[in-house]
Structure 1
Amino acid sequence: MAIRRDAAAAKKAPGGSMPLVDHLRELRKRLTRAVLAIAVGTIVGFVFYGPILDFLTQPYVDMRPLLQSEGIDTELVITGVGGAFQFQLKISLVFGLLASSPFWLWQMWAFILPAMHRHEKRWAFFLAGTGAPLFVGGAALAYAVLPKAMEILIGFVPDGFGSLVTGAEYFDFIIKMLLVFGVAAEIPLVVIMLNRLGIVSAQQLAQSRPWIIVGIFVFAAVATPTTDPLTMLFLAVPMLVLYFISELVARLTDRKRAKAVQSEPSDDEASPLD
């Protein structure tokens, strides 16, 4: 009986402390659930492969008539005997990862959260609640930019030549664009978190603004899979807007923090007894 009480007390101890074996069992349970969720999402992606493929190839379909009007014939092809199956399997797996991401990300949080304090949990939910919409918004912008980016790149094909784009190359290009735009949209979240932790102040951000602007344009030029300045601007301009918003939030946070410090009594000041 005493051993059972000790085990129960260890599981309910503050800070989420528990024996190592229980930690490993909990980790195994969370990983198993995450893998099953990804497997189910992959199966769903395999079943609905047609609509998913139509969605992915729509930017190419929208861009193709524009190139044909310029005398450039382009075609999307799949090479190799098993190329079609590998392509379908790859798309299904990526779809499964994305579709099940809310569930397996929650499994990760559920394993970490018990070890966090209350204020750390608030910031964890803040990160999860704002990071996902920002990433989706950046990926949506990339999807809207894709037709113009492909038109510019394939437009460099010389006269008398055609353009054959393999399915694997096309899919890799789309994934890179979505990831780059999605990660770039997380800039305000990173800046606000650094400011809340006291690592960076609004004054420091204002002083470093010219260098940050230059860095954003350099990042946009290097990170985008394309080489045209238009796609770079499509990435750099939203990043600048998001950065200016995060700088404004940091300035408001610093003002609130300064007022809180001023309202606190000094060490040598007598506090009221009542």
Structure 2
Amino acid sequence: MSRTPRDPEGRMPLREHLVEVRKRVVRIALGLLAGAILGWIVYDPLLDALVEPLARASEERGALIGLNFDGVATAIDIHFKVALFLGVIVSSPWWLYQVFAFVNPGLTRDERKYVFGFLAAAVPMFLGGVVMAWLVLPSVVLVLNSFVPEGNANLIGAQLYLGFVMRLVLACGIAFLVPVFMVVLNLMGVVSARTWLAGWRWAILVSFVFAAMVTPTLDVMTMFGLATPICVLYFAATGICFLHDRRTARRRVVPAE
């Protein structure tokens, strides 16, 4: 069976794109499954690490602070969620590659060279966001528990606490991918640096709204702690885009004979 012909630039027709979507989704699911199996195996030490900020806050506050498994199926439900949480993190190089392997056939030959550069930047940026969230988590938990009155216990619902932690960690990782997308779109000539700079007010607003949604508490420090690095990365990516646009403009200038 012959393949569907491509255009002169090497782009795929719609039918091949749909087939490619299915193939990449299946591969991403298999990667997440493999990572989740690892998460299932190491569940106990992983749960201990996730709960460690509560134990530290309990020790520093001298109060009873811990998890409350308040349902018959809560423990097994959390087991699955924690396993999948680790699966998303450890398989991030794989699913990021699949995303851009899907985009790659739709690009021209000149644009495809940026895919590998994106992947080389996207993986450490995602993991960097995960690490940053993990480092600030103990401080966040301690601050939030500092409002518990003396002599009182704070038994937090396991679903509520672990959902908050996993959402915070993964959201930071995804947020740190935004500057990489910005640079790639600029390198491909889709969005100019001036366009990114013109939207700086919206970028700051969206960053703080995103931080507020990820940390639905009254802790303003957490919101600022998450939104600030996102804003810094936005402006850093805009600066890189300006350098690229300037370099591109110079190349277009034909030297006088």
> Normalised by the shorter chain, which TM-score bucket?
0.7 to 0.9
Q: Is the 8 A contact 1:16 1:114 kept in 2?
A: yes
Equivalence map 1:52-201=2 (5 Å): 52-68=46-62, 72-196=63-187, 197=189, 199-201=191-193
Q: 1:118 to 1:229 in 2, by over 3 A?
A: same
Structure 1 residue 61: Cα displacement: 2.5
What residue number does 1:43 align with?
A: 37
Query: Which structure 2 residue ranges, 5 or more long, are not aligned?
Result: none
Structure 1 residue 37: Cα displacement: 3.3
Amino acid at match of 2:83: S
Structure 1 residue 164: Cα displacement: 0.6
> Helix, strand or coil for the counterpart of 1:226?
coil
- Cα distance in 2 between the residues matched to 1:201 and 1:194: 10
- The TM-score normalised by the length of structure 1 is 0.75
Identify which range, 31-40 or 171-180, moves more after superposition: 31-40
Structure 1 residue 83: Cα displacement: 1.9
What residue number does 1:256 align with?
A: 247
Structure 1 residue 149: Cα displacement: 1.0
Identify which range, 98-107 or 252-261, moves more after superposition: 98-107
Structure 1 residue 40: Cα displacement: 2.9
> Helix, strand or coil for the counterpart of 2:253?
helix
Q: 1:115 to 1:61 in 2, by over 3 A?
A: same
- Cα distance in 1 between the residues matched to 2:84 and 2:165: 15
- Cα distance in 2 between the residues matched to 1:218 and 1:39: 32
Identify which range, 104-113 or 171-180, moves more after superposition: 104-113
Percent of pairs with identical residues: 33
What residue number does 1:237 align with?
A: 228
Alignment length (residue pairs)? 255
> Helix, strand or coil for the counterpart of 1:170?
helix
What residue number does 1:268 align with?
A: none
- Cα distance in 2 between the residues matched to 1:214 and 1:105: 27
Q: Is the 8 A contact 1:139 1:179 kept in 2?
A: yes
Which of 1 and 2 has greater Rg? 1
